Amino acid sequence: MTEEELKQFKASLSITAVAKSLGLEVVRGKFRCFCPNRHVHGDRTPSVSISEERGYFRCWVCEDVRGDVISLVQKFKVCSFSEALSYLRETYPFLSPGGSPAAVATPSKAKNQVENLEEAPPETPVEGPVTEDERKKIILNFLKMLSPVDNTPAATWLVGRRIYKPVWDRMLLRTIDDYGKLNEMLKNTYDKEVLQYVGLFNEKGNLKFYKHPLIFPYLDPQRRAFYFQSRAIDSSVVPKEMNLRGTVPYPYNMSALDEKPGWVYLCEGVVDTLTFLGQKIEAVGIPGVRSFKVEWLPLFKNKNVVLCMDKDNAGREATAYLQDVFGNAGIRTIVLGEGMEHLKSSMKEGEDINDWFGGKH
């Protein structure tokens, strides 16, 4: 596991869920200390607090009972870092890089396979040739150089998925319509090392996304984007999607998380999210369950969440996990289609949201 993968794995783990998996009784974010002999009445009133968002636990009496989700497992099982990591990967295979062997074997999983490019986190500005602010500006500027999808092969592909112009415009979908020209323009604007560092250029010194011309910017509430995913429109290309290097900063279409009371649909991937938006249903997307971050939970304030993972084994594992994580944070969830499996119109095994709404592949 690379450092970046480890960081993402830790970020996707709910420390409360892990504590419960170990058999600890967590009540209102607290559990009893591992060292009850140091406490009055054997720590009958739990002294260890959990910060779910920060992924941290801490005993208010014992100096040494504190740490992150991995140290929690280490302290509880009295084991090494790598043993704790193995335990977590076995307990949460669907969050683990590479996924569970069973899930990889499912054809619809391969369909959603996302390549995470490189491992160096952009959050370490000391090592990079540009600061974090400059990195963001370059991504912003790159997205400005792209064309709207109208009258391009990307548009044809989107229409095939029943995703139409109002949604393209709302989500500022973009495409690379002249790869050669854009490649030259970028080379003339920035140093090659900088372009490689921010994740736009490959090792050979050319623009990536040659086979992935459809670009989904991750807009923030000010409609700016410092992160995007790219998508192949030729069905023979593997992987179908590529992530910009570094971690996903927030869910796709985060402006749906406006703190107003209501429902929001949580889907796997941008295409499913766009499908819902086309139906005037408020939805947010995560590139995959492995990119969900527990620190995003506060964004879901005042929302009830409809979980809309793919209808396959990986999707079901993810659903059960997310129900637990949201539940621990006091956020109500329901599972899309649950209790309606007998209906003819319900999602079939192996389908995702776009398939269900009649998108063709």
Smallest gap from Cβ 24 to Zn ion, in A, equals 13
Nearer to Zn ion, 24 or 198 (CB): 24
Smallest gap from Cβ 84 to Zn ion, in A, equals 19
Nearer to Zn ion, 65 or 154 (CB): 65
Nearer to Zn ion, 35 or 320 (CB): 35
- Asked whether 254 and 221 are in contact (CB, 8 A), the reply is yes
Nearer to Zn ion, 24 or 283 (CB): 24
Smallest gap from Cβ 78 to Zn ion, in A, equals 15
Q: Which residues of 11-49 are buried (b: 16+ CB within 10 A; e: fewer)?
A: bbbbbbbbbebbebebeebbbbbbbeebbeeebeebbbe
HSE (CB half, 13 Å, CA atoms) of 98?
6
CA dihedral 30, 3, 287, 100 (to 10 degrees): -80
Smallest gap from Cβ 229 to Zn ion, in A, equals 44
Going by the DSSP 8-state scheme, the letter that residue 181 receives in this structure is H
Smallest gap from Cβ 29 to Zn ion, in A, equals 16
Smallest gap from Cβ 26 to Zn ion, in A, equals 15
- Asked whether 175 and 147 are in contact (CB, 8 A), the reply is yes
Nearer to Zn ion, 35 or 114 (CB): 35
Bond prior to 239 in cis (omega within 30° of 0): yes
Nearer to Zn ion, 29 or 337 (CB): 29
Residue 120 has which token pair? 């160096």
DSSP per-residue string spanning 245-307: SS---S-BTGGG--SSSEEEEEEESHHHHHHHHHTT--EEEESSGGG--GGGGGGGTTEEEEE
Residues at the interface with Zn ion (CB under 5 A):
33, 35, 59, 61-62, 65
Smallest gap from Cβ 62 to Zn ion, in A, equals 3
Q: Is the dihedral of CA 10, 15, 17, 22 positive or negative?
A: positive
Nearer to Zn ion, 59 or 84 (CB): 59
Residue 142 has which token pair? 């790159």
Nearer to Zn ion, 7 or 38 (CB): 38
The residue of the chain with the least Cβ separation from Zn ion equals: 33
Q: Is the dihedral of CA 42, 44, 45, 50 positive or negative?
A: positive
- Which residues 6+ apart lie within 8 Å of 224 measured at CB? 140
HSE (CB half, 13 Å, CA atoms) of 84?
20
Smallest gap from Cβ 38 to Zn ion, in A, equals 5
